[in-house]
Structure 1
């Protein structure tokens, strides 16, 4: 699943020969470690033959940021702790689950000696980020870099042979990510008035914002959603909790203030922090609907929670990895969030195996430290194509929703009566869901009797309204507009989670990764199961299903029963 401006695999044309030199001077007496899973294999050239030519000087000089992931202790033991509901202290984490400082220093020295700039080193998270011109990257890592063209004519460099490192430098390196910058995550957001099937609507999420129509003004506000899910008048509002939003840029402060006022939400900017993960002075992208929707709805559902917006600067995986590392580092230091909301994804088979491994280790570590990450499941149903906003030919789930250490959030179509009562709710046609082709099923899913007979991760876990008709009320560029997509259901659940955590704290109980407890109360009044609707290959029905997961929340009952679960 790739955005229209990203590398589209079906439309690739290889128009350049690669930079193939690297280590020729010492290859005869040096053993190298190869990383074949750090790149996604590209298809052969398509279209008419093109004369081979070297990468342009401009592309050879283009800076490329690369993420090196190092071994960080026994992750199986860490997973066992999460399954048992145990939280790892910062002291234990630093002692048992950090990378070897000597290994990271040796790698940093090696790269610096080859002309790289070290951007960030974190032994606590097992990450080293470094940048260099494309020509230097190709030579240092002995990888062939080519020039590819996407379906909109944009040129992007890409590695097409596995990177390598000298064995003494790379022994503890387990992944090298960022060598195919055309691969990037896609926003899970849909503007009201756009039908999803069909790649022609791939850019609908970020289309120009029109003047508000009557239907947009009648979209659901926070009070409507809380009423639909039995969350009105509760004594918990997210006080003492912090929700992190991971996205590429910041929303407008004035849009946030107008949203809170229109929704009669007692929230203010003093509880919102804006954290630029990039180097100082780097320009962030212009605001869009995604980060605005995420922040407005998470803060609206949990008005007393603090919000930390982490702007990665782009949706490239290295940028997202750097942001996740910052969130993890701050959590280790005791100043991170309890809840993380991510409304992004990429079809699972289009993400390199090593990138999956890298991010999965980060989500596992966050879960072990007590952070619950909510990830939108996708907006193209069971068969997402490369654009992420159209239906393809094969059933696939999307990553990061398919990670076993996150809570994947699907979508429903909610209809309410004039008096505010729920008239009907069914599975949303475009709710991402299905069976992972990569990740194993976590223990808490294995314990639930209604799941299909498979050893693989099942998506989603829970759901909420995601249909853009009528959609969720959003203030963007000062105007009232309506958006849907699982980008909407994910921050709704993040806000609900803040309320759940506040209730636990009031009772003197420990908060932690929520997935096991959510499954423990799945057959109770805590969830309203969705028994109709489909997302393409799958139908909603009793018990867990690949459209809506366990169902939608009954917030009042969920808070009551959740706290009683060991």
Structure 2
């Protein structure tokens, strides 16, 4: 047996072992295999150089860069020998889903599996790397699902008043109170303040939203958009790995789901919104992203992701698998917008464990192939912004993420942006995060309806769907989709006036400055100028 590179389990301090997993416990795993052919330099070169857009269709991508039948057959043969059931083959996503018991999994993959107790409940966890037989060495790139520990957290924050209201609403007390008044901006307000191009509504576009829990209520969406004088957008729930639209309480992930839909839908009301629900695990996250990228039914042109975790929380195979999916998105012309985190430069909220005192970039925002979305604190009079600074209400628990990646090297297109060395010992210069920003402080946050009530919610969770809505508007107008925006932002768009620089404030580790910085990237959008620059 050969050890699978990158499959060493990450350390988790807040887990208590409950002993070996029951041998007869049955679950599914996703086996990721290599590409049929690599994404060649000439395929990504137009993006990396910031030049003309040239994209593959999803069918072309699957034929050229999906999994080969021979590789999937080799995994299927291994599955049959091991007593597994082949549940599904996903050639475009380069994966095959296998079902078996914990005992079969441990034996077939040469690993050990235990049950652990943690703050969110009880889960399976690997205690050893994954191994594969020699004939699969070089074919298999990842095995996901042996462990189902929650991996990511949503990046939203209630305002102080809304947090108290949500706590009351979550208590068992008979009938749910009627919707309460709340302050904050709406997506419509932010579109005006950031000068999003008028006369566009996202028609013909699909916005994908990744969710690892919670759900939405259609009655809430209708009531919310009615309050804006708009018709609710078309929303479709897509199940991934058994995940479902499951609304429960405002303190749950419902607030994340509704924030994402209501912000994106207010900006681009005619865009179709496809919400991909998956379990909160590394397998669920990997499969949800692949499902959205390769969805040939809904065909999203932009993906919004408001979930993440410090890079140190992920396995190497998980980081590589998700970044590989983001590369595929770039080749397909799909823009991916990711929240940069809500716990400052440390990215380790004390409510979710003990911070280690180091700075951490949040993943997936730290992938070079996504648009990392940081946060600001904005005040306005009417439709005029009067001030905008780095969001930092509390540097450890309510501040924009941002910093320097410990995993991804400095991309060539970011080399001239002045990315500073990491504040961690050694001063590594890697991929700088974020790329862009938008209003995120819960003190100046967004008015959102969740589970029959109205709250003010902030966080970089709001910035990802805000930018996704803007990209949908741009894609509606442009001859070609925006696609992978980063090389353009750091290349021909730099200095075009398309971004409003934010030069005041810090996130507890990095300070804002003129030009790009590790708090707000290039700053907040000036929508009409961004469209004009892209058209040019």
Same fold (TM over 0.5): yes
- Report the counterpart of residue 91 of structure 2 in structure 1: 123
Structure 1 segments, 4+ long, off by >4 Å, are 43-47, 204-207, 209-214, 386-392
Cα separation, 2, equivalents of 1:444 and 1:341: 23
1:399-410 correspondence to structure 2 within 5 Å: 399-410=363-374
**C-alpha displacement at 1:442, in angstroms?**
2.7
Q: Is contact 2:471-2:482 (8 Å) kept?
A: no
Q: Please state whether the residue corresponding to 2:345 is helix, strand or coil.
A: coil
Residue 350 (structure 1) aligned with residue 317 (structure 2): no
Cα separation, 1, equivalents of 2:498 and 2:438: 13
Q: Is contact 2:502-2:513 (8 Å) kept?
A: yes
Residue 534 (structure 1) aligned with residue 506 (structure 2): yes
**Cα separation, partners in 2 of 1:237 and 1:450, compared to 1, 3 Å:** farther
**Cα separation, partners in 2 of 1:415 and 1:276, compared to 1, 3 Å:** same
Cα separation, 2, equivalents of 1:45 and 1:189: 22
- Report the counterpart of residue 395 of structure 2 in structure 1: none
**Cα separation, partners in 2 of 1:344 and 1:139, compared to 1, 3 Å:** same
**Cα separation, partners in 2 of 1:484 and 1:54, compared to 1, 3 Å:** closer
Residue 559 (structure 1) aligned with residue 531 (structure 2): yes
Residue 208 (structure 1) aligned with residue 170 (structure 2): yes
Q: Is contact 2:26-2:99 (8 Å) kept?
A: yes
Residue 442 (structure 1) aligned with residue 411 (structure 2): yes
Cα separation, 1, equivalents of 2:151 and 2:15: 22
Residue 525 (structure 1) aligned with residue 492 (structure 2): no
Cα separation, 1, equivalents of 2:441 and 2:334: 28
**Cα separation, partners in 2 of 1:556 and 1:358, compared to 1, 3 Å:** same
- Report the counterpart of residue 295 of structure 1 in structure 2: 261
**Cα separation, partners in 2 of 1:363 and 1:128, compared to 1, 3 Å:** same
- Report the counterpart of residue 411 of structure 1 in structure 2: 375
**Cα separation, partners in 2 of 1:257 and 1:522, compared to 1, 3 Å:** farther
Q: Please state whether the residue corresponding to 2:136 is helix, strand or coil.
A: helix
**C-alpha displacement at 1:472, in angstroms?**
0.3
**C-alpha displacement at 1:179, in angstroms?**
3.1
Q: Please state whether the residue corresponding to 1:61 is helix, strand or coil.
A: coil
1:94-243 correspondence to structure 2 within 5 Å: 94-151=62-119, 154-193=121-160, 208=170, 217-231=182-196, 234-243=198-207
Cα separation, 1, equivalents of 2:215 and 2:182: 24
**C-alpha displacement at 1:37, in angstroms?**
1.6
Q: Is contact 2:114-2:125 (8 Å) kept?
A: yes
1:447-466 correspondence to structure 2 within 5 Å: 448-452=416-420, 456-466=430-440
**C-alpha displacement at 1:488, in angstroms?**
0.6
Cα separation, 2, equivalents of 1:377 and 1:255: 27
Q: Please state whether the residue corresponding to 1:275 is helix, strand or coil.
A: strand
Cα separation, 2, equivalents of 1:222 and 1:328: 25
TM-score under structure 2 length normalisation: 0.87
Q: Is contact 2:292-2:303 (8 Å) kept?
A: no
Q: Please state whether the residue corresponding to 2:478 is helix, strand or coil.
A: helix
**C-alpha displacement at 1:195, in angstroms?**
12
Cα separation, 1, equivalents of 2:311 and 2:15: 23
**Cα separation, partners in 2 of 1:561 and 1:502, compared to 1, 3 Å:** same
Q: Please state whether the residue corresponding to 2:466 is helix, strand or coil.
A: helix
Cα separation, 2, equivalents of 1:415 and 1:143: 53
Q: Is contact 1:189-1:205 (8 Å) kept?
A: no
- Report the counterpart of residue 22 of structure 1 in structure 2: none
Deviates more, 1:381-390 or 1:167-176: 381-390
Q: Please state whether the residue corresponding to 2:360 is helix, strand or coil.
A: coil
Q: Is contact 2:419-2:518 (8 Å) kept?
A: no
Q: Is contact 1:345-1:378 (8 Å) kept?
A: yes
Cα separation, 2, equivalents of 1:362 and 1:510: 18
Q: Please state whether the residue corresponding to 2:198 is helix, strand or coil.
A: coil
Cα separation, 2, equivalents of 1:92 and 1:477: 42
- Report the counterpart of residue 306 of structure 1 in structure 2: 272
**Cα separation, partners in 2 of 1:228 and 1:181, compared to 1, 3 Å:** same
Give the counterpart of 2:210 among 237, 242, 246.
Answer: 246
Q: Is contact 2:162-2:457 (8 Å) kept?
A: no
- Report the counterpart of residue 425 of structure 2 in structure 1: none
- Report the counterpart of residue 220 of structure 2 in structure 1: 255
- Report the counterpart of residue 494 of structure 1 in structure 2: 468
Cα separation, 1, equivalents of 2:277 and 2:461: 16
Deviates more, 1:237-246 or 1:518-527: 518-527
TM-score under structure 1 length normalisation: 0.82
Question: Size of the alignment, in residue pairs?
Answer: 506
- Report the counterpart of residue 19 of structure 1 in structure 2: none
**Cα separation, partners in 2 of 1:389 and 1:413, compared to 1, 3 Å:** farther
Q: Is contact 2:29-2:143 (8 Å) kept?
A: yes
Residue 470 (structure 1) aligned with residue 470 (structure 2): no
Give the counterpart of 1:71 among 14, 34, 52.
Answer: 34
Q: Is contact 1:38-1:354 (8 Å) kept?
A: yes
Q: Is contact 1:290-1:487 (8 Å) kept?
A: yes
* CA shift digits 1:246-284 (9 cap, x unpaired): 11353111111111111223x435x322222245xx765
**C-alpha displacement at 1:522, in angstroms?**
3.0
- Report the counterpart of residue 396 of structure 2 in structure 1: none
- Report the counterpart of residue 11 of structure 1 in structure 2: none
Q: Please state whether the residue corresponding to 1:217 is helix, strand or coil.
A: coil
Q: Please state whether the residue corresponding to 1:412 is helix, strand or coil.
A: strand
Deviates more, 1:422-431 or 1:140-149: 140-149
**Cα separation, partners in 2 of 1:303 and 1:45, compared to 1, 3 Å:** closer
Cα separation, 2, equivalents of 1:157 and 1:109: 26
* CA shift digits 1:171-219 (9 cap, x unpaired): 41112223332141111111111899xxxx9xx99983896998x6221
Q: Is contact 2:309-2:347 (8 Å) kept?
A: no
- Structure 2 gap ranges (5+): 249-253, 393-398, 422-427
Q: Is contact 2:440-2:462 (8 Å) kept?
A: yes
- Report the counterpart of residue 247 of structure 2 in structure 1: 286
- Report the counterpart of residue 504 of structure 1 in structure 2: 478
Give the counterpart of 1:316 among 269, 277, 281.
Answer: 281
Q: Is contact 1:40-1:350 (8 Å) kept?
A: no
